[in-house]
Structure formats: structure tokens, C-alpha cells
Amino acid sequence: MCGTDSKVTGVGTDDGPGRVLYVEEDSDLAGLLEAYLERERDGITVEVCDDPRRALERIREGDVDCVVSDYALSGMDGLELLSAVREEFPELPFVLFTGKGSEDVASEAISKGVDDYVRKGAGDRLEVLARRVDNLVAGHRAKTSYRELFDKATVGLTVHDPETGESLNPNAHYCEMLGYDPGEVDDLTMTDVSANEPPFTAERAQEFVRKAVEEGPQSFEWLDERKDGERIWVEVNLRQADIGGRERVLASVQEVTERKEREDRLQAANDRLRRQAERLDEFASVVSHDLRNPIEVARSSLELARMEDDFERLDRADEALDRMQTIIDDVLTLARRGDLAEERETVSLREVAESAWGTVETADATLAVDPNAGAVEADPETLRQLLENLFRNAVEHAGAAPAVRVGPVEGDDGFYVADDGPGIDEADRERVFKRGVTGDDCGTGIGLSIVDAVADAHGWSVSVTGASDGGARFEVTGVETLGEAWVDGA
């Protein structure tokens, strides 16, 4: 049977004495050891049990700080009891106290994880046992208190092996944060919990662990992946620590997903404000500079018309006013470019191109759309503006009756607009999309800037090359496209 001790209150906690379970069939020896330990060690109480199987059940009930066991027991010897205890309670101190042991028994006990091995006998054997039990109980108490604090922490805590990166003994909050049950995380590695896409790779995480050992504490934000696949942002603090005589790295991990999302929203808002400020500066520049010349032309023409009754002067003034209107329309398009791709849908490239062609003064120019030009994902209104400006550019710069073509680019990730005019010098191809660059006096220098802005808002790229017949070929790539068959069947 296993006895009880009425003196014990708060057993196994920091508020009471440490509880030693002594497994011994010799009742006289058990009583002697119980009396000696409780007399010589104020912080120790002893519970005696003469049945190893009942002793194992008692250990499962909790509140045991150390097990002292004889080797020669009925039904289950001390080594078998040690194996059973280690399987369920690997941290619980266990002392083998026997008078019938041997070197072989001692060696096997050590291999099974015994904390101490003391031979029974005369002299100071009881004092030796008392000292060792006292030390083991104190160590177990300290470790238990540390573990309780560790588990009750409101941040995720885990310990890393600096050699392998393996996560050891994570606390409950860490497990909950990553969506694992406590029993599932004993063998987790950084590969298991990291997002594993650059720069959040297991190799880089291991580098932080190494730096914590070699250079000192490390703090950083990291992208983790929960068991269910959800990704969360965490703030990690690493510090080298000596735990149980081994070099370890203690990790404090706190989820900061909401904070990170707020920061991202704030950054996006700041970026929008910055772009708006840039557009205002651009608008002011156009108003102050680009409109000045046509205003002067209109004013001078009107004054001369009044003086000379010259109606041709009025025509020049009208042309200047038309030019100002074009500049204003183009500038407004640029000023609103933050909204250029908000309403995306699947549209027919052929239909949008033909619609855009109808809004441009094309004179004798012709348009041919490749039958393989299918559908694209785009904001239909701003796609039309992009095509209008490319068509207008061709009509203004490609000669008297240019032939304009629209079709898919090789690789089917975009489309082109080409003409058979003189083309664009290779040295000028990089700068044609900058505002204010124009090939003659009739252009505003803004049209191709609009093309670039619309493409950028959609996440596309636009470039200019030479067409097969010598003209200019503008290619818009990175476009999500669908085949013509889809359009016909829509």
C-alpha cells in the first residue's frame, strides 16, 4: 500500500514541503528512512509505498517531487519501475537505493536515465541519500516553477537547439498561436512553422539563432505559417540561455498580424498621398508652362483679328483653344491615374480597339485588328484611353495615311499597336513616355505618358520597338489574356 502524511499541506508546490515517494517492501527500513529524512531535512516529507505498481499509480496522481526505489521488488523490479516512470514522466527525479545491486545494475540504471544510484549500508549512507534527494527535490521544484511561469506566459515561448534549430518544449501560448496541440510540437523545426518563401526561409531563421549565440540578442519580424496554412506575422526576440547545463536559444514570439496590417494600410495611404502630391506638382507644371504658349497664340490672334478683320487669325485662335482643351483633358487623365485600373473586367480587345479608333481623328489612316486578338482583363474605359493615345500618336507621326495594326504579342501575355511610319529612333525610345516629350509642335507631350500611366496602374509593362515594316511598335505585356474563342462564345 501507499501511505499518506497528514503533515503535508500544499504538497508538490512552492507553498509546502517537497514530497518524496519511497518504494520499499521492508517496512522497518522504510520507517527508518522516512524518520531520518524528515528529521534531517525540514523541507522534505516522505510517503512510503510497498507496491511498485501502486507507486506508479500514485505518481500519476501528481504532487511527487522525487522517487526513491529499492531494486529488489516483487512483480516489478526497480529498473522496470524506472523505465515506466521515465516513459511517462521523463523529468521526475528517480534515485535507486539498493543493497543488492551490482555494477551491471548501476550501469543499466544509468542507461535508463536514473538521476542517482546509492548503495544501502552502514555509516553515512542515509546522509548521502538525504543530500542527494534534497538537491534533486530543490532542482525539480525550481524547474517546475520555471515551467509553470513558462506555460502561463502571455507570449509564445520556445527553446531552440542552436545546432539543429529544433523547437524544444514550446509553451501553451506558442502552440495555440500556431494552431497545434501541445503534443504535436515537440519535433517541430523552423521549416515547419516558417512561411518558407524568401526572405522567410528556415535557413535565414537558423542564421538568426546562430547570431543570438555568437553576437547577442536578436529582434526581428517574421512570417510564420500555422498548421491550417494561415500565415501570421510575428515579432521574435532571441536570447542565448543556459538551460539544464546546455546551450540553448530562448525565443519570445508574439503575433503582430493586426499591427502589421495597420502599418501596411498606413504605408499605402502615405504612398497614395505622395503620388497625389506628385500629380499636383505635375498639374501645376503643365498649367504654368504647357498652356502658356497656346494662350499667347490665342490672345495675339484675337488682337490682330480685331485690328485687321482677318478671319484666318480667328481660325488660329480656335486651333489654340482646341490645343488647350486637349492638354487639359490629358492632364486630368494623368491627375486621376490613381484610379485608372479600379473597375477591371474581361473585355474584347477588338471591340475596345475599334471603339477607341472611332474617337480619334484618323483622316486617311486605316486600322487592322488581328483575328487572334482575344480578350483581356482590364478597366475598359482606361484601356480605351491607352489605345486612343497610341492611335493618335500613330496618326500624328506616321505620315499622311498610316496603316495601324493591333494584335497579340508572342507568348500571348499582351498586345501590340504598330504603324508603318518612320518609326522612333532607338536613342529616343526610352524617353518617349516622359511627360513633355513630343516629336512635333502639334502634340501635347502627354499622350504617351498616359499610356505609361494606364499600363502601370494595371501592373503591365509598355515598351517601344521597331515594327517589321519600319514603323513604331508599342508592346504592352504582363496582361492577363483569353483567346478569341472565349470572346466569340461569351
| pLDDT tens, residue by residue, 435-474 | 544 544 444 456 788 788 888 888 899 999 888 777 889 9
Longest dimension (CA), the chain: 138
> Does 190 lie in the same domain as 134?
no
Do both 290 and 274 map to the same domain?
yes
Residues 201 and 88 in one domain: no
Check: pTM over 0.75? Answer yes or no: no
Does the pLDDT of residue 320 top 80, yes or no? no
pLDDT of amino acid 5: 44
Output the pLDDT for position 385: 84
Residues 142 and 160 in one domain: no
pLDDT at residue 304, rounded to an integer = 76
Residue 332, domain member (yes or no): yes
Average model confidence (pLDDT) across the chain: 81
Number of domains in the chain: 4
Q: What CATH number is associated with residue 66?
A: 3.40.50.2300
Per the model's pLDDT, the better-predicted residue between 400 and 15 turns out to be 400
Asked whether 140 and 44 are in contact (CB, 8 A), the reply is: no
Q: How many residues does the chain have?
A: 490
Q: Is residue 101 part of a domain?
A: yes
Average pLDDT on 73-83 reads: 92
Residues 478, 386 share a domain: yes
Residue 307 lies in a domain: yes
Q: Are residue 172 and residue 128 in the same domain, yes or no? A: no
Task: Answer yes or no: are the C-beta atoms of 465 and 401 closer than 8 Å.
Answer: no
Residue 271 pLDDT greater than 70, yes or no = yes
Lowest-confidence region among 232-236, 285-289, 308-312: 285-289
Please indicate whether residue 186 or residue 79 has the higher confidence score (pLDDT). Answer: 79
- Residue 389 clears pLDDT 70, i.e. is over it: yes
Identify residue 176 by its one-letter amino acid code.
E
In a domain, 5, yes or no: no
What secondary structure letter does DSSP report for 17?
P
User: Mean pLDDT across the stretch 393-420?
Assistant: 87
| Shared domain check, 414 and 354 | yes
Residues 353 and 441 in one domain: yes
What's the confidence (pLDDT) of residue 10? Answer: 29
Helix, strand, or coil (residue 147): helix
Cα distance between residue 51 and residue 459, in whole Å: 76
pLDDT of 443 reads 46
334-353: average pLDDT: 77
Domain boundary among 208, 238, 260: 260
In three-state secondary structure terms, 117 is strand
183 vs 268: which has the higher pLDDT? 268
Asked if 101 and 227 sit in the same domain, the reply is no
CATH code assigned at 308: 1.10.287.130
For residue 53, is pLDDT > 80? yes
pLDDT of residue 268: 85
User: Can you tell me the distance from the alpha carbon of 174 to that of 216, in angstroms, rounded to the nearest whole number?
Assistant: 23
Mean pLDDT of 147-162: 79
Q: Which residues of 219-254 are buried (b: 16+ CB within 10 A; e: fewer)?
A: eeebbbbeeeeeebbbbbebebeeeeeeebbbbbbb
- 248 in the same domain as 168: yes
Cα dihedral sign, 219-223-225-226: positive
What is residue 442's predicted lDDT score, i.e. its pLDDT?
45
Residues in contact with 195: Cβ distance below 8 Å, sequence separation at least 6, in sequence order: 223, 224, 225, 231
Q: Give per-residue pLDDT as tens, 89-126.
A: 988 999 999 877 678 888 888 888 899 998 887 667 88
Domain-located, residue 11: no
Higher pLDDT among residues 404 and 125, named by residue: 404
Which range has the worst mean pLDDT, 390-404, 418-432, 439-453? 439-453
pLDDT of residue 83 exceeding 90, the answer is yes
8 found inside a domain? no
The whole-angstrom distance between residue 393's C-alpha and the CA centroid of its chain comes to: 44
Residue predicted with more confidence, 432 or 162: 162
Radius of gyration of the chain (CA): 42
Of residues 218 and 427, which shows the higher confidence score? 218
The stretch 29-56 carries a mean pLDDT of 89
The predicted pLDDT at position 43 comes to: 76
Supply the range of the domain harboring residue 282: 267-336
Residue 318 lies in a domain: yes
- Write the single-letter amino acid at 173: H
Same domain (yes/no): 233, 360: no
The contacts of residue 377 (CB under 8 Å, 6+ apart) are 344, 345, 346, 479, 480, 481
Of 260, 257, 256, 239, the closest CA to residue 248 belongs to 239
| Residue 47 lies inside a defined structural domain of this protein | yes
| Whether 313 contacts 301, CB under 8 Å | yes
In this prediction, residue 406 carries a pLDDT of: 95
Which pLDDT value is given to residue 16?
A: 61
Q: Distance (Å, rounded) from C-alpha 105 to C-alpha 140? A: 25
| Top-confidence range, 329-338, 418-427, 478-487 | 418-427
Q: Which letter does DSSP use for residue 462 in this model?
A: E
Q: pLDDT tier at 240 (50, 70, 90 boundaries)?
A: very high
Residues 248 and 273 in one domain: no
Q: Is 341 helix (H, G, I), strand (E, B) or coil?
A: coil
Which has more confidence, 357 or 424? Answer: 357
Residue 186: the pLDDT is: 67
Residue 366: CATH number of its domain: 3.30.565.10
CA angle (275, 276, 277) in 5-degree steps? 90
Mean pLDDT on 16-34: 88
- Say whether pLDDT at 235 is over 90: yes
Of 113, 135, 151, the residue at which a domain comes to its end is 151
Residue 204 CA: distances (Å) to CA of 35, 118, 235, 255, 271: 58, 48, 15, 19, 30
pLDDT category at 59 given cuts 50, 70, 90 is: very high
Answer with the one of 282, 302, 336 that is the final residue of a domain: 336
**Amino acid 283: pLDDT:** 61
Tell me the pLDDT band of 137, cut-offs 50, 70 and 90.
Answer: confident
Rounded to 5°, angle at Cα 241 from 237 and 243: 130
* pLDDT over 90 at 338, yes or no: no
